[in-house]
Chains A and B, each alone.
Chain A
Amino acid sequence: MKDNYIPEVDVTTDKIKISARNVQVYYGENHAIKDVSVEIQDKTVTAFIGPSGCGKSTFLRCINRMNDTIDICRVEGDILIDGEDIYDRNVDPVQLRAKVGMVFQKPNPFPKSIYDNVAYGPRIHGLARNKTELDEIVERALKRAAIWNEVKDRLQAPGTGLSGGQQQRLCIARAIATEPEVLLMDEPCSALDPIATAQVEELIDELRQDYSVVIVTHSMQQAARVSQKTAFFHLGHLVEYGETDKIFTSPEDPRTESYITGRIG
């Protein structure tokens, strides 16, 4: 594990996928996200780093409106995906979430078979016309999530019976089975051991070819390894955003530097 390896920056496109402008998030009285503006590029891995409680997960959950499920949560400002305001009154969050997939911190497969876990999304969105097509989608998603070889002989076994790392890759397969355009990952490796983490990281790097990936992580090494762009959050503010190697080698803001060098966090 080359912890200090920083990948070459090879941002393949400059197209802006997600654009946030002056986003404010309140949990009741608590002002959790303060005036965050950020532009996230397509086909890029963007990492959100920062100390616990800094609002990076909250901001991530704004991108697919998962915060809608929290009653006291209120979002102000605009978040645009492909130029469309996702908080527009005409936007159905269900449609949005099909376009913006999410992988959670704790692996959370449905207590169903491996096959049904992956097939659930395509089924409810009507992506497959028949069983053969569905089989193909499931196989493709499992292959892309690099778990196909481990589970191909037991697709009907329960997803909850897999190991932690396998479960997380199953969740990634489930998220990409619906063909999203953006993949949000909320500390996807925090519950995994180093080997499983390495597998997932490798996977994230591959997924970049097709998706815009936004990953929240506590591990700065991980951010450095997998991302091309990094955003540093602190106390609800977006402190610094830029090319990953620049953030890690010559940060502009003293707070970023303190965090990266381990003085705050």
Chain B
Amino acid sequence: MTDMPNATPKNSLLRQDARTVKRNRAETRFKAYGIAAISVGLLMLVILLVTIIGRGTGAFQQTFLTLDVQLLEAKLDKKGNRDLQDIKKVSTFGYAPLMAAALEKKVAESAVESDLKPKEMAALLSKDAAAQLRDFVLENTDLIGTSVQFRFLTNSRVDGYMKGRVTRESIANDKNINAAQLDLVDALVKDGALEKRFNLAFITGADASDARPEAAGMGVSMIGSLFMMLVVLALALPIGVAASIYLEEFAPKNLITDIIEVNISNLAAVPSIVFGILGLAVFINYMHLPNSAPLVGGLVLTLMTLPTIIISTRASLKSVPPSIRDAALGVGASKMQSVFHHVLPLAAPGILTGTIIGLAQALGETAPLLLIGMVGFIASNPPDGIASGLMDPNSAMPAQIYEWAKRADPAFYERAWGGIIILLVFLVTMNAIAVMLRRRFERRW
């Protein structure tokens, strides 16, 4: 070696040996796999979000037709005494002619050429429009006898035409609308009377029957979900936390507690439909609680959420360092004092996070609701009061979405996507709150 001063030594650090090269290559490959996996995941997420937003945002807009309606006293309040009971006796059939007249007048005034009969013109309006007007009049009886400008919902075909879902080609076999009606729609759009607007009723309203998708909204099922979540929170949180504290801090470690522990973990993995049929058998058939009631839904979801809450609560109790328990016991605190004064406050953020995640899970759960009758067309008005909210038939957000998705009219399909957006907003908000709580209260030791 001495005669070759420039030659590198055999074990030079400047050159990688074969083994190192192989190892490094394996590492590079593995990193590439990881990046590929993440990219695929992200791509899926983007596709999902784009699809949901692309298809769902339409549900938040609705086509409205603005008309001046004469609220004729002779039709709506024959006695003329503005007595609410008497006005209520006039059904929606009494209002339909007023609307038809208003539309006819509008067409005449705006110099739109149309050969349509008044009845065909009126078909542009939603079947729900008369009910809309009636509700408005019942709330504002003093307006009877005057002329009011009112924004009517249009038929879902008109709405579909405005959103590009219905085309002149696609209506060939459609009995609900014809080309002449679409001509009138075009003319009214030009006139400015017919336009797409933000549809608050989709967020606040109730479900509607098959014939009037334009009137369907999520509001009542949101209230159903809210009541279920209240039941879950009121039951699952205290029961879950108490059970976890007992199991983690007080229970002796023996065969029985081992079995309980294993079973709780298994319970978390039980398909939710099993809880549904359990709820049907116990709460409805045996305890005779009402069908389709958010109370029953809440009870079933409580069963489902309990294991999640227990597992996360126990995990956060476990993560409290034992030195804190020793410290409390060392100054003469009782077991309970050490748990409630020191361990529980330190575990609280974890417990809260677990509870919120459990609630979010329950909020999105559909399968158990199938069996207790919360999925289906449940035409209900917003409940008045807590008791009616708990006991009256209602749906839930995911059940409502499922219900819309299986209906025939494509207008409902759009609403299902819109419902998914609302549900996701709720879930994302809840998860964000969970993350925030964890960040805020996390303690460093």
Contact = CB atoms under 8 A, between A and B. Distances in A.
B332 A125 contact: yes
A111 B346 contact: yes
A71 B250 CA distance: 10
B326 A104 contact: yes
Given A110-B324, A110-B342, A120-B341, A102 B330 contact: yes
Interface string A72-111: 0000000000000000000000110111011110101111
A111 B330 contact: no
A97 B323 contact: no
Given A120-B328, A120-B331, A124-B341, 17 more contacts: A69-B325, A69-B329, A97-B330, A98-B331, A98-B332, A102-B326, A102-B330, A104-B326, A108-B324, A110-B324, A110-B342, A111-B324, A120-B333, A120-B341, A121-B333, A160-B445, A174-B327
A175 B329 CA distance: 11
B253 interface: yes
A178 B330 CA distance: 10
Given A120-B341, A121-B332, A124-B337, A109 B327 contact: yes
B117 interface: no
A171 interface: yes
A64 to B, nearest CB: 7
A9 interface: no
Interface in A52-76: 64, 66, 69, 71
B334 interface: yes
Contacts of A175: 330-331
A71 B331 contact: no
Given A110-B342, A111-B443, A160-B445, A94 B327 contact: no
By Cβ-Cβ distance, the 3 closest A-B pairs, closest first, are: A98-B332, A108-B323, A121-B331
A72 to B, nearest CB: 8
A104 B252 contact: no
Contacts of A95: 332
A106 B326 CA distance: 11
A103 B330 CA distance: 8
Contacts, number: 66
Contacts of B445: 160
Contact of B328 (A71, A103, A110, A160): A110
Interface string B324-356: 111111111110010001100010000000000
Contacts of A120: 328, 331, 333, 341
27 contacts: A64-B330, A66-B326, A66-B329, A66-B330, A69-B325, A94-B333, A95-B332, A101-B330, A101-B331, A104-B326, A104-B327, A104-B330, A110-B342, A111-B324, A111-B443, A120-B333, A121-B331, A121-B333, A124-B332, A124-B333, A124-B341, A125-B332, A160-B445, A174-B331, A177-B331, A178-B331, A178-B332
Give the interface SS of chain A, mostly helix, strand, loop or mixed. helix
Interface residues of A, number: 28
Interface of A: 64, 66, 69, 71, 94-95, 97-99, 101-104, 106, 108-111, 120-121, 124-125, 160, 171, 174-175, 177-178
Contacts of B328: 110, 120
B323 A106 contact: yes
A258 to B, nearest CB: 33
A71 to B, nearest CB: 5
Interface in B409-445: 443, 445
Contacts of A104: 323, 326-327, 330
Nearest to B333: A124
A99 B329 CA distance: 12
B327 A108 contact: yes
Which one of B323, B332, B346 has the highest number of Cβ atoms from chain A below 10 Å of its Cβ?
B332
Interface of B: 252-253, 321, 323-334, 337, 341-342, 346, 443, 445
A120 B325 CA distance: 13
Nearest to A69: B329
Contacts of A64: 330
Contacts of A111: 324, 346, 443
Contact of A97 (B253, B325, B332, B346): B332
Contacts of A99: 332
B67 to A, nearest CB: 67
Contacts of A178: 331-332
A192 to B, nearest CB: 16
Nearest to A174: B331
A104 B342 CA distance: 17
A97 B337 CA distance: 14
Contact of A108 (B326, B332, B341): B326
B252 A71 contact: yes
Nearest to B336: A94
Contacts of A103: 330
A97 B443 contact: no
A109 B331 CA distance: 11
Contacts of B346: 111
Contacts of B337: 124
Contacts of A98: 331-332
Nearest to B330: A102
A34 to B, nearest CB: 25
Nearest to A109: B327
B332 A71 contact: no
Contacts of A94: 332-334
Nearest to A117: B327
A102 B323 CA distance: 12
A103 B331 CA distance: 9
A110 B332 contact: no
A184 to B, nearest CB: 8
Nearest to A98: B332
Nearest to A93: B329
A71 B253 contact: yes
A7 B430 CA distance: 65
Contacts of B321: 108
A107 to B, nearest CB: 9
Contacts of B443: 111
Given A71-B252, A71-B253, A110 B327 contact: yes
B317 to A, nearest CB: 15
Nearest to A108: B323
Nearest to A184: B330
Contacts of B324: 108, 110-111
A111 B343 CA distance: 11
Contacts of A71: 252-253
A101 B333 CA distance: 11
